[in-house]
Chain A
């Protein structure tokens, strides 16, 4: 079965996702995923060497919600704003799935400090259409940045 996807629908998914996080509504972030989704932020170094450790890893909706709640309500960090800059979205349909990649740069502005690039990297995604909406079945953020400047306080 093939689903013909409008490229604007895939872009929309990426941009809405970024807008939700950048807008500060972290607890709405899990809504972009399927219940069985896998999410991970992992360094290029670990990714290339086949080392499984990420800096955030969620298996399924429960862990996605727990991470979102921790970021939104439990963790203690300096006030900041985030801006995702997403480009070079490339995708292919394969059966009922879309395999997609995109570049991402994350600008972080901590109150009272200069804006910095927290990381640059790419999304490697598997997207599925359910109930008329596109959702992530798998989203892996592979970052190039060798040393993270500070902490990653929210999902990317």
Chain B
């Protein structure tokens, strides 16, 4: 364990399957997460290609809590840079998106090209022989801080560190396979954004998506209509780093059986007045009807029936994060499929018939965690092991394996 962490008397519980409360509430732990996770050599989700169709199109996005610009260059490349003027630190772009020829900070009109290189400093040579920048000041040394970019199949990732790992290696073959199932190279069609702030630690939403156990209990809607339920053929797949997960499942029937009879929230009589909400059309090869990916450190990639969305996690502090949802379809979608995706979007997001339960419950967990730094949480469902492949949903294994990896990264 690191010396600085020891000094504050952080003791990871010795018993396996336990998570200490302070990992969700402590300011120093949060500062260390920014440094060792978001500023470090990880690929953070930053956006979609379809958000930047033309040269000069930009998107304001985030890596951790840092504002980043993604820009489409003249040659079709995507450049990424810190959204922070090299001069005094002002944010260059305040809009979420737009189109520019260059970036100019309004404060002193320092101007940058689409690569982030500094190309103009007013009064650089002074006025009437007076003032100006020192002779040694070189424009090429004062561009915007460049950020590494990785594109694959329509999504864009970025990394603040100079030495990111190869993306394929980073995701590992199992999760990459599911990633490519969604981002298969077909052009994407942007449907819109939803943005919310949740009063909870950012890791709790990743854990929520790594936890198939809750989905069969908390969400009456999932349970009753069989969208995600323990009695269905399901798999929990984890990559070798332990940090990325894919939860894969097949839709089940609305029937009473060994699984559903244990679920108080199962309602055999519940019927939709308008069944179009669940008018699902098969569109991917294979039997899976839902794949929920957590891609470390900031992405939940969701395919639930015909809803496709990225959820970008922006940590604001130990007790608060933002989640920015981007819903999309494919360029090849018929109008009917677009309408289907938009209807099913009612299940997701801050007003989602299913997702609102998650946003609410993790806030409730945070309230509990804030009452004590010395208590621990239990993640023993499915045993205490660290299997990378599980053929059922009655397990919290993906959370256990995640914390094995997290502790290494964090030196805890």
Contacts and interface: CB of A to CB of B under 8 A. Distances in A.
Given A45-B193, A57-B345, A59-B343, A150 B350 contact: yes
Interface string A30-45: 0000000000011101
B276 interface: yes
Nearest to A45: B193
A45 B195 CA distance: 10
A23 interface: no
B127 interface: no
B40 interface: no
Contacts of A65: 273-274
Interface in B356-402: 356-357, 359-361, 363-364
For the side of the interface on B, what is the size category? 35 or more
A15 B350 CA distance: 25
Contact of B360 (A54, A61, A76, A146): A76
A151 interface: yes
A87 interface: no
A151 B356 CA distance: 6
Given A41-B351, A62-B272, A53 B364 contact: no
- Tell me which of B273, B277, B352, B363 has the highest count of chain A C-beta atoms within 10 A of its own C-beta: B273
Contacts of A61: 273
Contacts of B96: 45
A66 interface: yes
Which secondary structure dominates where chain B touches chain A?
A: mixed
Contact of B350 (A42, A49, A55, A66): A55
A67 B346 contact: yes
A23 B356 CA distance: 21
Given A62-B274, A70-B221, A151-B360, A53 B191 contact: yes
B218 A53 contact: no
B356 A52 contact: no
B361 A51 contact: no
Contacts of B349: 55
B83 to A, nearest CB: 16
B197 A148 contact: yes
Contacts of B99: none
Given A60-B274, A65-B273, A55 B342 contact: no
Given A41-B351, A62-B272, A151-B350, A53 B342 contact: yes
A1 interface: no
Contacts of B197: 147-150
Interface in B313-327: 322, 327
Given A70-B353, A75-B357, A148 B273 contact: no
Contacts of A41: 351
A51 B190 contact: yes
Interface string A65-77: 1110010001111
Contact of A74 (B221, B277, B345, B359): B221
B322 to A, nearest CB: 6
For the side of the interface on A, what is the size category? 35 or more
B186 interface: no
Contacts, number: 116
B192 to A, nearest CB: 3
B198 interface: yes
Nearest to A58: B346
Contacts of B338: 52
A46 B96 CA distance: 11
Interface in A116-147: 146-147
Given A77-B357, A151-B359, A56 B351 contact: yes
A53 B272 contact: no
B192 A51 contact: yes
A153 interface: yes
A152 interface: yes
Nearest to B345: A53
A78 interface: yes
A63 interface: yes
Interface string B261-304: 00000000000111011000000000000000000000000000
Contacts of A150: 196-199, 350, 359-360, 363
B17 to A, nearest CB: 25
Given A74-B353, A152-B351, 7 more contacts: A45-B193, A53-B327, A56-B346, A58-B346, A74-B221, A147-B195, A153-B351
29 contacts: A41-B351, A42-B192, A43-B192, A43-B193, A43-B194, A43-B195, A49-B97, A49-B192, A51-B193, A52-B191, A52-B342, A53-B191, A53-B193, A53-B345, A55-B350, A55-B352, A60-B274, A62-B273, A67-B353, A76-B361, A77-B356, A77-B357, A146-B195, A147-B196, A150-B360, A151-B351, A151-B360, A152-B351, A153-B356
Interface of B: 96-97, 190-199, 218, 220-221, 272-274, 276-277, 322, 327, 338, 342-343, 345-346, 349-353, 356-357, 359-361, 363-364
